[in-house]
Amino acid sequence: MDDLYINKFIHEKARLLILTHLSSTERREVTFNDLKAALDMTAGNLSVQLRNLEEAEYVRVIKVIEDRKTLTKVSLTAKGYEEFMKYLNNLEKLIRSIRE
């Protein structure tokens, strides 16, 4: 059990919700507004958490112009996916060790 590492950065509720949604969606990119609605988060909180995830290189945030409006799109990076899978695997190990 000493080798289990729970990534506290990912474990924070808002970031965990974002990464879970991005890793489970069929779309490669999700718009900021779709993410905000799906997770029932405020724009401010979502913006802050996305910035944190972007700085950690877990997500990619791009802004594009569509129909004269700025559209923010978010996608999971390869690093973000890998770290999220490690996080899930370690949680599974922890749960198994408790049940045994």
Name the residue ranges covered by the structural domains of the chain. 8-99
Q: What is the DSSP letter of 6?
A: -
Query: Residue 46: pLDDT above 70?
Result: yes
Q: Which two tokens stand for residue 61?
A: 């945030």
Measure the CA–CA gap between 83 and 59, rounded to whole angstroms.
11
CA distance linking residue 37 with residue 81, whole number of Å? 22
Distance set, CA 81 to CA 4, 58, 72, 88 (Å): 19, 7, 20, 11
Angle at 54 between CA 48 and CA 60, to 5 degrees: 120
Residue 28 per-residue DSSP state: S
Per residue in 78-91, pLDDT (tens digit) is: 999 999 999 999 99
Q: What is the pLDDT of residues 11-40, one digit of tens each?
A: 999 999 999 999 999 888 999 999 999 999
Share of the chain above pLDDT 90, in %: 82
Q: Which fold has domain 8-99?
A: Arc Repressor Mutant, subunit A (1.10.10)
- Asked which of 4-8, 10-14, 55-59 is least confident by mean pLDDT, the reply is 4-8
pLDDT surpasses 70 at 3: no
**Alpha-carbon gap, residue 98 to 88, rounded angstroms:** 15
Confidence of residue 2 (pLDDT cuts 50, 70, 90): low
pTM of the model: 0.91
Q: Is the pLDDT at 43 greater than 90, yes or no?
A: yes
